[in-house]
Chains A and B, each alone.
Chain A
Amino acid sequence: MAKVRVLVGTRKGAFLITSDGQRRDWKIDGPFFAGWEVMHVNGSPADPDRLYASQWTDWHGQVIQRSDDGGVTWNPVGNEFPYEGVAGTHQWYDGTPHAWEFKRVWHVEPSREDPEKVYAGVEDAALFLSTDGGNTWGELAGLRTHTTGQTWAPGAGGLCLHTIIIDPSDPRRMYVAISAAGAFRTEDGGETWAVATKGLQSNFLPDPEASVGHCVHRLAIHPSRPNTVFMQKHWDVCRSDDAGDNWREISGNLPSDFGFPIVVHAHEPETIYVVPIKSDAEHYPPEGKLRVYRSRIGGNEWEPLTKGLPQSDCYVNVLRDAMTVDSLDSCGVYFGTTGGQVYASADSGESWQAIAEHLPAVLSVEVQTIE
């Protein structure tokens, strides 16, 4: 019988929340790595028992943990992320050159085919690859040394590579997103990269034609349409139908087009979900109502999904890596909040259930559908 395993990273540890395919009754295990910030936990599509977790603290820096038994036991693997060659500089907040410094891993993305192969997106922004199950890491330096790299500047959250999408039809093609540099695409497994931001508008950039400097919060694709890419930007929800070469806004009737995550329904490539946030200055839902918005036509026309979600006095945020979907026939949608709640919908967002209510602030949510 199918089951789902929700992988939750929080500000004080990781939690695994499991249920059968009905997704009514849930069991919470954890905290794992108690007291550490767990930026992300993700499972290998090729081997669901293989999990990777990024744990971090200001005190002790980065640790990567690996589980080979579905999260029952964990072992630390390699935590050294050396930039290739002379690291060079990017732009600092005050406009001066600032040396590239590794701080932490925001996102781990296992290969779809090989459980030993896993990518890591890090701060200061760079992409790393391990082909030995996380024991050693090497930089795919073509991204950081892109001609625009010296002009990248951090947002308030740091210069972080937070999104890695591997094209399921061609694993040599990947998309990444960096705050506040933008979106990039590779066609050759990460050796060379193209900026993928044409058509984006960011009011805080003085040059309306700027190719970098866009604060991309999240990208998402549907596996059946890898040329269509959805984006939640600092402001604006956007889509591209030519693999990121050109973008157009699809915010439509959203109450706010600021937000962090965006996900695509598992079986409907034009059904997408966002969680509108009031503004860049006020990171909580408009009117204190926690509403997921769904478009079933690929954007512009959105409907609020509220059943089971708090509709008054709610002032939590939903971070960029904290929303996901499962692949059961009735698509499940999941998200976690900075208030420590994890919500699940077993019916494509029509109704929601709190499957955890009192966790530390949630940083990331992934789900594994295990047949």
Chain B
Amino acid sequence: MTTVRVALPVHLRTLARVEGELPISVEDRPTIADVLDALEDRYPVLRGTIREHGTSRRRAYIRYFACGQDISHEPPDTRLPDPVAMGSDVFQVIGAISGG
């Protein structure tokens, strides 16, 4: 097992009633989907807010960043970079810039 550090946008931290980064335990060499599955298992209130119900597609205004790269368009079974998988860097869930 390994621990991935997950950073959520403010609306989701409020919804999940958490502060700061979240340590999420997953099997070694996790994929994007592994981390999100584990995150939603631990915080069921996040289901549907990052990925759509049913299809598990990333919501349109959400992005995933890791090691300074936008990995949003990678397939969900893409393995996370080693620094993120091993907890030295953060898996970031980002909300789009938006006005109004």
Contact = CB atoms under 8 A, between A and B. Distances in A.
A60 B53 contact: no
Contacts of B48: 61-62, 79-80
Q: Which of A36, A76, A81, A82 has the most C-beta atoms of chain B within 10 angstroms of its own C-beta?
A: A76
Given A35-B11, A80-B47, A80-B48, A59 B95 contact: yes
A76 B95 contact: no
Interface bracket on A = 10 to 19
A57 B11 contact: yes
B53 A59 contact: no
Interface in B44-100: 45, 47-50, 52-54, 59-62, 95-96, 98, 100
Nearest to B96: A59
Nearest to B52: A61
Given A80-B47, A80-B48, A80-B53, A58 B12 contact: no
Interface in B25-56: 45, 47-50, 52-54
Given A36-B11, A76-B15, A82-B54, A60 B49 contact: yes
B73 to A, nearest CB: 18
A105 interface: no
Interface of B: 9-12, 14-15, 45, 47-50, 52-54, 59-62, 95-96, 98, 100
Interface of A: 11, 34-36, 57-63, 76, 79-82
Given A59-B11, A63-B45, 10 more contacts: A11-B100, A57-B11, A59-B61, A60-B59, A61-B48, A61-B49, A61-B59, A76-B45, A80-B53, A80-B54
